[in-house]
Every structure is written in structure tokens, then in C-alpha cells.
Amino acid sequence: MDSIIVTGNGPLCGTIPIAGAKNACLTLMPATLLSEEPLTLTNAPRLSDIRTMTTLLQSLGAEVSALSDGLVLAMSSHDLNGDRADYDIVRKMRASILVLGPLLARLGHAVVSLPGGCAIGARPVDLHLRALEALGAELELRDGYVHATAPSGGLRGGIVEFPFVSVGATENALMAATLARGTTVLKNAAQEPEIVDLARCLSAMGAQIGGAGTATIEVQGVDRLHGATHRVVTDRIELGTYMLAPLIAGGEVTLQGGRRDLLEAFCAKIEEAGASVSESDEGLTVRRANGPIRAVDVETEPFPGFPTDLQAQMMALLCTAEGTSVLEEKIFENRFMHAPELIRMGAKVDVHGGHATVTGVERLKGAPVMATDLRASVSLILAGLAAEGETRVGRVYHLDRGYEHVVAKLRGVGADIERVKDDG
């Protein structure tokens, strides 16, 4: 098992290239199951979750090849030989549930294990199942698997009204609806850029979709989808994470490929805290505007609100801000597990249910800490940039699920950071 060692050594300066979006790519990959023709994704991130999804698709009979050093994924599902997504693969990653809708739409039947992933709350899949039932699917939960069957003649269009916003359920329903007979309307749909990216890819494959990026998406089902080539959208969570680095450590960093429209609420919040964010053809450039970072209150919300996937990283910043901040986590329960580790570094954090009160300190202290999930792991690395002495972050296998070449990217702008093998 590996650890990452960070030693605070002052301001950062330079450019960090931002990868394609993990959450978008993990949704786009199962779209290959909808067509017999090839689907090629460019600007793919090189992450362990992508490898897990590759293994899952291959287990179903899809062909998946990583080209151009992993930046291109060439896929073909012309000869699927299975409809079962086994627990041994699915348990590693919650996004595995996204093969359910495409398999059901294409084959008329599917058996998919209930998923695993980061331990940040229940995140039930019932909204996925309700959405597919609205399209005529018959579902049974048995022995930890979802057994799904489409009616004779395939799925049929219907009205899917989500009781609350769910990105994954919107994605599963959207893919299934492309091959359903008639019109499907998704109400209270997720509006994230990843949803828009999926709709663009599906449209390039011949789907008829309107309203992606709004709360109401309408899909007119077609008989078949064809092949396409699609570029994965920029990873807004990686973008936001590295935008915080110069605010924590000082200096000025340009995030190559960054776009403000992907993170408007986040940009507004860090500007309120004292950041300067400027946009150019190259990307976004971030630095402290004047003086130290100030305390701000943060509420996580579905897009276009402040992303829950940037809450842990924002807490790391606010640990050294002037004043007291309150962070309210409104998307997932159990998502303050990084707080005790930050406290080990001298942070003042008080957690009560879905609220965390953070009182800034003058300087964090380096300490051995443990990553509890993907975003928590990178928040501890960010905190290490601002800490006095050495911070050793353990269990960084979480990090490999969502950030490629994190050591190289931060070292490239001047951070003192290395990855080491733990003894034993």
C-alpha cells in the first residue's frame, strides 16, 4: 500500500493540465452497450475506476481498447455474450449500476449486482429502479442482484418524475429511454455538465434528446443507435480541487482546459473568500486577490450549486481562513469523515450531523493522516500544502480512483510531494 508525503514549502506557480471527467467517462462507457457499432471516447482520464468499468464491459462481451496512452477508449459491443454484472466487479465502484439501463434497453434483460464504492452514505439505487419501472421494466431484488426484464417488444416511453435530483438515476434512465418505444419525459432531472455530455454523445449516436441541462429532459425513442466519436468533457471536480491549491499554499496557478461555466457557484464562493479567478483561452488562472483567505459559509447542492465532491477540499482551505465558516452537507450523509484527520493536523472543526463549523488557524501542522474516501484523500494533500512540516497521507488507493498523476501535477507547480511504498 502506498502513502503520499507532502511538505509545505510555500507558494505554487505554473500550469496544471486538467483531465477528462471521471464521472462523465464512467457514464459514457456503458453507452457502448446501446449499439452494435463502435463508440470511441477521446480525452479519457487514466484512472482505476476507468479500468474497473473496462473490466465490467469486457465481462459482458464488449471490446474495449485503451489507445494513445489511455487517452482514447475504442469500444465495440457488436457481440455481447452476457447480461450479468457480477458482484466481484460491481462492488468496487458504484457507477457499475449504469450498465443496467443500457443492457435492459438493448437485450431486454439484465442481472446486475448492487454496487459498492466510497463509504459516504447509503446512496440507494431505488431511484434507478423506479425510473426503469416507469419504462415498463419488471424488477426483482434477489441475493444482492437486480434481476430486470423488459416487456415483450422492449421498454416503452413513460413519465419519470424523480422525488429528488439524482445524477446516476437520470443517466440510467436517459440511456434506457433512447431505445424505448415512444416518448419519455424525465422530470426533476439532474442538470450536471456530465448529463449534458452524455446527451451530446447519445445524440451523436442517433438519439433524439431535448432539454439536457434543464430539469426536464424529453427523449423520443429510436429503433437503433449507431457509432460515434465523442470527446469527454473537462473534469470539473479535478479543476476545482487544483484551483484551491494556490489559495491554500499561495502563488498563482493556471488550470489548463478549465472553464468557469462548469463551476460557477464554486468560483463565486472562493471569490467571496478572497480568490481571484480569471478566464482565458488557455483555462482558468487562480490566486489570492488581496491578503489571507476569509471565512465563508458553504452549502452543497445539486448542479448548478456548490458540488458535494468539492466540500472536503473546501474544508481544507477554510481550516486556515480568517474567521469561522459553516459547511452544510445536503447531498450525502457521512461525508465529514475527513474532519478528524484535519483535526490531527491542528484544524479546529466541530461536526454536528450535516453541519461542520470550521474556525481557521494560523498554520496547520504536518501529521500522519488516513484517507477515508476519494475526495477526503485529496483534501488532506491540499491541507499538507499549507502545513508546517511533513504530512503523510495513507491509504491513497482511494486517490487513484479519481485523480491521475496527482504527484506529478502538483510537483510541476512547485509542491514538495512524493509517493512512497509503505513498509510491509
Cell of residue 173, nine digits:
434512465
Residues, the chain: 424
Told to judge if 118 belongs to the known catalytic residues of this protein, a careful annotator would answer yes
Q: Comparing C-alpha atoms, which of 13, 42, 400, 39 is closest to residue 234? A: 42
Burial class (CB in 10 A: 0-12, 13-18, 19+), 424: exposed
Cell of residue 193, nine digits:
455538465
Cα(209)–Cα(184) distance, rounded to whole angstroms?
10
Q: Tell me which of 13, 25, 118, 319 is the catalytic residue.
A: 118
Inter-residue contact 403 to 238 (CB < 8 Å): yes
Cα(134)–Cα(155) distance, rounded to whole angstroms?
9
Binding residues for UDP-N-acetyl-alpha-D-glucosamine: 94, 123-127, 309, 331
Residues 6+ apart with CB under 8 A from 420: 2, 3, 4, 5
Secondary structure class of 277 (helix, strand, coil): strand
Amino acid at 370: M
Angstrom distances, CA of residue 422 to CA of 4, 182, 306, 408, 419: 10, 56, 35, 19, 10
Cα(378)–Cα(371) distance, rounded to whole angstroms?
8
Cα(194)–Cα(212) distance, rounded to whole angstroms?
10
**Distance from the Cα of residue 88 to its chain's centroid:** 22
Binding residues for phosphoenolpyruvate: 22-23
Binding residues: 22-23, 94, 123-127, 309, 331
| Residues labelled catalytic | 118
